[in-house]
Every structure is written in structure tokens, then in C-alpha cells.
Amino acid sequence: MNTRSVDTLAGRWALVTGSTRGIGQQIALGLAEFDCNVIVHGRRSAHAGETLHLLSEYAVETAVVAGDLATRAGVRSVIRGAEKRAPRIDILYNNAGIQNAWQPVWEIERPTWQETLDVNLFAMVELTNAFAPGMLERGYGRIVNTSSGIRDIPELAPYSVSKAAVDKYSTDLAAELEGTNVLVNALDPGWLSTDMGGPNADHDVTTVLPGALVPALLPDFGASGEKLLAQEYEWSD
């Protein structure tokens, strides 16, 4: 992806799902570094304390929304909360995700498939349906869908299938939004040491920056429909 980018997101509002910890927390801080106002999200508002504390170092507005993305009621609560607490959503960072427990593929039953797809894919679709029309009306939007580079791990099939669907959904959406300045891209963060990634991961969680910001910092009518690898980007002096 072309790294040409805007140097401030001042006045913009981003909703970062799953930003109470891990990769989403880094993304929230990275966006604040570029002056973007941030809505922090987790299943419970009480989980947001650490991210809010870290964001208090920046001169940006912040808000919190809560909702379990495994349920439609939870998704609705996130949408309603964001509509109430921010004037608009300019950047929708669909980051929240869950990984199914490691199991022989034949033993993975439908409820596990359902929950994984509910959180990783269907919530993303509902959030996009809620916020993309406003972006279109205003002629500006950046949607980033957190994907993965996972492959050939059948024990995690619900997770990897959900991420393959995220990739496909992202390119379909980009085709629909072509020429509108609502840009949609997928992000592969790399294998990172978070609660999900575990302690043996290849990279520290902080290395998701600056790459994870590239699709949020795109210039008007910049790249869309691409999948970018966060680990390919480094801060420049």
C-alpha cells in the first residue's frame, strides 16, 4: 500500500472496537498521536480504564461504549452508544476479535463456529451497515477490518474461516464504495504478544504501529480494497 498519508486526524472521530487492551489499545493510542478523538470499546465500560488513562496524555476527546459483539443486543448498544457520544464516526476500526479454543477440527461444534463468526464477522457487518451510510453522505470515511495471516491450522478453523470472510467482505465493500472516498482495507497485524497471541508470539504488541495506522491515515481517494501487513511498516525519523 502507498504510504503517502495525511499528517493529522484532528477533528476526526474513530470507533476502535476491542480497544480495552492488546492491539486495539495500541491503535487507539496511535490514532490519538495523530490528534484523532477516540471511542474506546470493550464488553464492559469498566474494562476501558487503562486505555482511557493512557489516552489522557493526549489532547483529544475520548468516550467509552460497551457491548458484547457476540450478541445483536450488544452490537446495538455499541452503535447507540457511539451515536450518542460522538458527533459522527469518521474512522471505523473493526478490531475486536476472539479465537476459538484449540480443538481437533472434527470436534468443533456449531456453537463455537457461531460465536466466532458472530464476533469476528457479523458484528463487523452490522457496525459497517450502521456507520458507512453517514460516511458516504459526508464524503469521508476510513474502515479498517482486522484480519490475520493465519493458515493451515485446522484446530482454529472457525477463527481462520472468519478472517478469510473478513478479507472477502472487505474487498466486496471496497468495490461497492469505489470512488466515494470511503476507503475500506484489511489489516494483518502479525503474530503479537497479547492475551490472544500469547507470550510466544513473534512480535511485541507495540510493533503493530505504525502499520496499523496507515489505512486510517490515507489521503482522500487513496488505496481501498487492499490487505496490509502491519509488520512491513516502521516509524521514519
Contact footprint for ligand NAP (CB under 6 A)? 18-24, 42-43, 47, 68-70, 95-98, 119, 146, 148, 189, 191-192, 194-197, 201
C-alpha cell at 42: 470493550
Shortest Cβ 22–ligand NAP spacing (Å): 2
Residue 74 parent element (H or E): helix 72-85
Closer by beta carbon to ligand NAP, 29 or else 69 = 69
Shortest Cβ 171–ligand NAP spacing (Å): 18
Closer by beta carbon to ligand NAP, 124 or else 174 = 124
- Residue 93 known to be catalytic: no
Residue with cell 476502535: 16
Closer by beta carbon to ligand NAP, 88 or else 203 = 203
C-alpha cell at 172: 466486496
Of the listed 58, 159, 169, 233, which one is catalytic?
159
Shortest Cβ 123–ligand NAP spacing (Å): 7
Closer by beta carbon to ligand NAP, 37 or else 95 = 95
Shortest Cβ 237–ligand NAP spacing (Å): 28
DSSP letter string, 142-207: EEEEE-----S-GGGHHHHHHHHHHHHHHHHHHHHTTTTTEEEEEEE--SB-STTT-TT-SB-GGG
Among positive and negative, which fits the CA dihedral 46, 51, 54, 55? negative
Shortest Cβ 62–ligand NAP spacing (Å): 15
Read off the amino acid at residue 142: R
Spatial separation of the C-alpha atoms in residues 219 and 236, rounded to whole Å: 18
Specify the pairing of strand 37-42 against strand 62-66: parallel
Closer by beta carbon to ligand NAP, 145 or else 181 = 145
Residues recorded for the chain: 237
Q: Is 141 helix (H, G, I), strand (E, B) or coil?
A: strand
User: Which residues in 90-150 belong to E strands, given as ranges?
Assistant: 91-94, 141-146
Q: Which residues are catalytic?
A: 159
